């Protein structure tokens, strides 16, 4: 009864464990490493860095020079994402390498994790607003994804309506198993695959589909969310039916496959981002992260590679992680990228349970089987722990009352092969249950009481179960997914993370038709579309909208695009609307859950004012975080003297921690750039923060021309002890003509900053 996506995640976890043990037995002597080098130390004799790295590897080799070929040790040379290479080295080779000219540092090649789903913690069932404009925006903007590959035949990647590929594009489509460049078109303009690192770490592994082709479905899903073309008649077995399209249906897609069902390694991901930067993507969408917690930014390849992307003007949207809902769980929180949490929207997938007396009860479900209007005898069994031993209920719908062992009862009911089962429970419904593989309904205690009374009163109680209804406009949306990871980000606490929420729960998008999406009575089912949940689904939504902004404002920096998305986001969160069970989620949502709020594509195209930032600003932040020269060089690929330091990044949000004395005084300085009406004025409006005095100076900003920059100071002052661990409010610059609201979340917290 486990839903397939759950299995995919579990399977991936198992394989990763296996690969790690292979690594230690087979390669007792050698390990794969990522090596950072100082390019300025390259001897003049070398024409390029690649030859220098190969020569370096060869010079430190334990193997006798006659049998040695550098290719047996060297994995990748990186040119854009980091300065350095990856290689398989013994410990004595590594020691020699450390003494070689230009060596900066090295780390073991480590596995990353894919951020698809976290079904067991899932709360609520609804999805994409679908209200986003079907515009022609996004045309010619190129979105690169590092993912599981792509199913090129999917209708989402049809190039109907697309113009010729811009000449600035340097990417191409690689050939491999069941894949060649003839499968690319004006929509899918690049496709590569990277598994040399995976193979270096697992020498015995045989990869069956060795190409950019997506055998899992995840990459096809994320790519179609970001920039899929229109597909009429899309649905998941009748659920969510309608026309599917990506956020930027006219943007182009380049897929860099580095995630394999066998695992995903840092060395391959770096190679993928390296190529994407060189090919000339405008936007990167990343739905994977380090499995390690609390690492320094210079240990986080995703942070390092995306710094290089940011310097090239590439906007990066990355998933916040699915380890909510505790503090400090967010991943991909580097200040130069946009960290995306997952929210739900106003759609539910339902079935109807009809009693013989005509009364109906709606329930959430994703059961993919066919509906039956046939009325069956209804039997009330109380607990259903022993039903599998009874043959007599085969043609009945059984009603089971949950007594804290629901998974057990569901399993027993399924093996009893009953016509259907109705579970009366007050456990919060998880996607795991609603994706049942036999006709099952989960209903609340009140409705359950009605059903039990009906059964007990009638001589011949009957009922029927119908599936595949989609209800739009459910009230509890939008709200943050319980699984969405929460801030602060341990490796960079002075920047508030996550940044924003986008739809991530039960998102319908294209799928690999060879990857099973569900089971009915243990038969696998296949579909061209799948409904998935996770911050993996949220990041490509933002990547698509960023493409729209990039199209409207080609000269905007990644920070400007981020600012536009954040300051126009909708901070409304209905997590606490009591229409659903919110058993393990009852604290009011704060910016540590939702960032600036749910993105609003329409408004983000015209934000009025932006908080811009350059690479130098991020370097000043790293300097103020007391990063060493070497650490900063690993991240930025350049040597910095840190003459200027500032923790006060020009960021569209604010976070302050109580000082070591417990007192609360914090000053922020920010600069706004006018991108709205040339002559315009704005007035500061702050929402009160419990126990904290918020002051803005000046309170009015008067702009006289486009692109003019004006600065202000925000001060927070509070008592020794905060009443709540997290106190939050906001600063909004209100356009005096009423056209713009430029809003930033503010957090003051007594959480104790952790050092990674």
Judged by beta carbon, residue 133 or residue 166, the one nearer ligand NAG is 133
Judged by beta carbon, residue 650 or residue 674, the one nearer ligand NAG is 650
Judged by beta carbon, residue 37 or residue 538, the one nearer ligand NAG is 538
CA–CA separation, 407 vs 70, rounded Å? 54
- Residue 232 buriedness (CB in 10 A; 0-12 / 13-18 / 19+): exposed
CA–CA separation, 654 vs 732, rounded Å? 12
Torsion of CA 570, 573, 579, 582, to 10 degrees: 150
| Residue 536 known to be catalytic | yes
User: At its nearest, how many Å lie between ligand NAG and the CB of residue 217?
Assistant: 19
Eight-class DSSP state of 251: S
User: At its nearest, how many Å lie between ligand NAG and the CB of residue 95?
Assistant: 32
CA–CA separation, 725 vs 124, rounded Å? 26
User: At its nearest, how many Å lie between ligand NAG and the CB of residue 182?
Assistant: 5
Judged by beta carbon, residue 281 or residue 501, the one nearer ligand NAG is 501
User: At its nearest, how many Å lie between ligand NAG and the CB of residue 487?
Assistant: 17
* Neighbouring-strand partners of residue 672: 710
> 């930033």: which residue's tokens?
744
- Three-state secondary structure readout of 364-377: ECCCCCCCCCCCEE
Eight-class DSSP state of 172: -
Indicate which residue of 61, 536, 730, 732 is catalytic: 536
User: At its nearest, how many Å lie between ligand NAG and the CB of residue 471?
Assistant: 6
User: At its nearest, how many Å lie between ligand NAG and the CB of residue 192?
Assistant: 16
User: At its nearest, how many Å lie between ligand NAG and the CB of residue 571?
Assistant: 16
CB 106 within 8 A of CB 82: no
Q: Which of 729, 345, 743, 385 is nearest to 537 (CA)?
A: 345
Q: Which residues of 696-718 are buried (b: 16+ CB within 10 A; e: fewer)?
A: beeeebebeeeebebebebebeb
Q: Dmax over Cα atoms in the chain, in whole Å?
A: 95
User: At its nearest, how many Å lie between ligand NAG and the CB of residue 163?
Assistant: 22
CA–CA separation, 473 vs 467, rounded Å? 18
Tokens (6 digits) for 690: 């419990």
User: At its nearest, how many Å lie between ligand NAG and the CB of residue 457?
Assistant: 22
* Neighbouring-strand partners of residue 260: 263
CA–CA separation, 596 vs 216, rounded Å? 33
Phi/psi at 291 (5° precision): -75, -15
CA–CA separation, 193 vs 210, rounded Å? 8
User: At its nearest, how many Å lie between ligand NAG and the CB of residue 85?
Assistant: 31
Distances (CA, A) of 741 to 84, 260, 606, 734: 45, 44, 11, 5
CA–CA separation, 714 vs 703, rounded Å? 19
Judged by beta carbon, residue 403 or residue 695, the one nearer ligand NAG is 403
Judged by beta carbon, residue 100 or residue 177, the one nearer ligand NAG is 177
Judged by beta carbon, residue 2 or residue 352, the one nearer ligand NAG is 352
Write out the DSSP string of 261-307.
TTB-BHHHHHHHHHHHHHHT-SEEEE-EEESSSS--GGG-HHHHHHH
User: At its nearest, how many Å lie between ligand NAG and the CB of residue 180?
Assistant: 4
CB 600 within 8 A of CB 545: no
Chain position whose Cβ is nearest to ligand NAG: 383
- Residue 647 buriedness (CB in 10 A; 0-12 / 13-18 / 19+): middle
The kind and range of the H/E element at 629 are: helix 629-636
User: At its nearest, how many Å lie between ligand NAG and the CB of residue 266?
Assistant: 27
CB 109 within 8 A of CB 301: no
Indicate which residue of 218, 494, 541, 728 is catalytic: 218
Eight-class DSSP state of 173: B
Judged by beta carbon, residue 182 or residue 460, the one nearer ligand NAG is 182
Residues 6+ apart with CB under 8 A from 381: 387, 398, 399, 400, 401
| Residue 147 known to be catalytic | yes
- Three-state secondary structure readout of 550-608: HHHCCCCCHHHHHHHHHHCCECCCCCCCCCCCCCCCCCCCCHHHHCCCECCHHHHCCCC
Judged by beta carbon, residue 213 or residue 252, the one nearer ligand NAG is 213
How far out from the chain centre does Cα 293 lie?
16
CB 445 within 8 A of CB 424: yes
CB 329 within 8 A of CB 488: no
User: At its nearest, how many Å lie between ligand NAG and the CB of residue 248?
Assistant: 14
Interface with ligand NAG by CB under 6 A: which residues? 131, 133, 178, 180, 182-183, 352, 362, 368-370, 382-383, 385, 402-405, 426, 469, 471, 520, 602, 625-626, 643-644
Judged by beta carbon, residue 319 or residue 658, the one nearer ligand NAG is 658
Judged by beta carbon, residue 78 or residue 651, the one nearer ligand NAG is 651
CB 713 within 8 A of CB 667: yes
Indicate which residue of 38, 109, 147, 346 is catalytic: 147
Rg over alpha carbons for the chain, rounded to the nearest Å, is 27
Judged by beta carbon, residue 625 or residue 741, the one nearer ligand NAG is 625
Judged by beta carbon, residue 29 or residue 386, the one nearer ligand NAG is 386
Report, as residue numbers or ranges, the catalytic residues: 147, 218, 536
């Amino acid at each position: 009864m486990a839903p397939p996506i759950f299995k995919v995640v579990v399977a991936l976890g198992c394989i990763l464990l296996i690969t790690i043990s292979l690594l230690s037995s087979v390669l007792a002597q050698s390990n794969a490493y990522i090596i950072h080098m100082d390019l300025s130390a390259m001897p003049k004799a070398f024409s390029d860095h690649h030859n220098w790295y190969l020569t370096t590897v060869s010079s430190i080799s334990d193997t006798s020079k006659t049998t040695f070929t550098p290719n047996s040790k060297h994995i990748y040379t990186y040119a854009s994402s980091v300065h350095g290479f990856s290689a398989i080295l013994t410990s004595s080779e590594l020691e020699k390498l450390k003494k070689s000219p230009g060596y900066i540092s090295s780390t073991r090649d480590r596995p990353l994790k894919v951020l698809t789903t976290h079904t067991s913690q899932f709360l609520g069932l609804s999805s994409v607003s679908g209200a986003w404009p079907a515009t022609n925006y996004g045309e010619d903007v190129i979105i690169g994804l590092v993912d599981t590959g792509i199913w090129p035949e999917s209708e989402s990647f049809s190039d109907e309506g697309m113009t010729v590929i811009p000449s600035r594009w340097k990417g191409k489509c690689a050939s491999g198993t069941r894949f060649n460049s003839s499968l690319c078109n004006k929509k899918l303009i690049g496709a590569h695959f990277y598994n040399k690192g995976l193979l270096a770490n697992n020498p015995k592994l045989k990869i069956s589909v060795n190409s950019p082709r997506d055998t899992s479905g995840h990459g096809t899903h994320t790519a179609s969310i970001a920039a899929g073309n229109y597909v009429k008649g899309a649905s998941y077995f009748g659920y969510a039916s309608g026309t599917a399209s990506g956020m930027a249906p006219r943007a182009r897609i380049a897929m860099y496959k580095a995630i394999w069902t066998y695992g995903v390694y840092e060395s391959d991901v770096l190679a993928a981002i390296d190529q994407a930067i060189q090919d000339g993507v405008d936007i990167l969408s990343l739905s994977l992260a380090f499995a390690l917690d609390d690492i320094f930014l210079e240990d986080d390849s995703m942070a390092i590679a995306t710094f290089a992307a940011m310097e090239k003007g590439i906007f990066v949207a990355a998933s916040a992680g699915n380890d909510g809902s505790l503090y400090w769980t967010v991943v991909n929180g580097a200040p130069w990228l946009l960290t995306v949490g997952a929210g739900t929207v106003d759609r539910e997938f339902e079935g109807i349970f009809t009693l013989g007396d005509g009364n109906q009860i709606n329930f959430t479900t994703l059961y993919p089987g066919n509906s039956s209007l046939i009325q069956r005898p209804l039997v009330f069994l109380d607990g259903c722990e022993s039903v599998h031993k009874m043959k007599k209920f085969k043609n009945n719908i059984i009603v089971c009352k949950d007594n804290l062992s629901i998974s057990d009862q569901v399993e027993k009911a399924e093996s009893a092969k009953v016509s259907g089962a109705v579970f009366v429970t007050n456990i919060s419904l998880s996607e795991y249950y609603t994706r049942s593989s036999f006709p099952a309904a989960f209903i609340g205690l009140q409705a359950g009481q009605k059903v039990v009374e009906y059964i007990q009163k009638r001589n011949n109680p009957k009922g029927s179960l119908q599936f595949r209804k989609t209800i739009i406009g459910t009230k509890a949306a939008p709200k943050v997914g319980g699984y969405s990871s929460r801030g602060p980000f341990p490796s960079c606490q002075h920047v508030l993370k996550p940044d924003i929420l986008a739809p991530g729960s039960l998102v319908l998008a294209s799928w690999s038709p060879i990857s099973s999406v569900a089971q009915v009575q243990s038969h696998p089912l296949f579909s061209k579309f799948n409904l998935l949940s996770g911050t993996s689904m949220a990041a490509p939504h933002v990547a698509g909208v960023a493409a729209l902004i990039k199209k409207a404002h080609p000269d905007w920096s990644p920070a400007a695009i981020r600012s536009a998305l954040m300051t126009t986001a909708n901070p409304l969160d209905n997590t606490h609307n009591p229409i659903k069970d919110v058993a393990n989620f009852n604290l009011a949502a704060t910016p540590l859950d939702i960032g600036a709020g749910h993105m609003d594509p329409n408004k983000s195209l015209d934000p009025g004012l932006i908080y811009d930032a350059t690479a130098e600003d991020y370097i000043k932040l790293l300097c103020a975080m007391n990063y060493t020269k070497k650490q900063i060089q690993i991240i930025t690929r350049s040597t910095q003297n840190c003459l200027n330091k500032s923790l006060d990044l020009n960021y569209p949000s604010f976070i302050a921690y109580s000082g070591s004395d417990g007192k609360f005084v914090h000053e922020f300085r920010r600069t706004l750039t006018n991108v709205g009406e040339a002559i315009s004025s704005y007035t500061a409006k702050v929402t009160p923060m419990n126990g904290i005095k918020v002051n803005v100076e000046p309170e009015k900003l008067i702009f006289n021309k486009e692109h003019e920059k004006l600065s202000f100071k925000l001060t927070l002052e509070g008592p020794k002890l905060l009443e709540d661990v997290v106190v939050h409010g906001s600063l909004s610059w209100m356009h005096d003509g009423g056209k713009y609201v430029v809003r930033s979340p503010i957090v003051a917290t007594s959480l104790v900053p952790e050092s990674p």
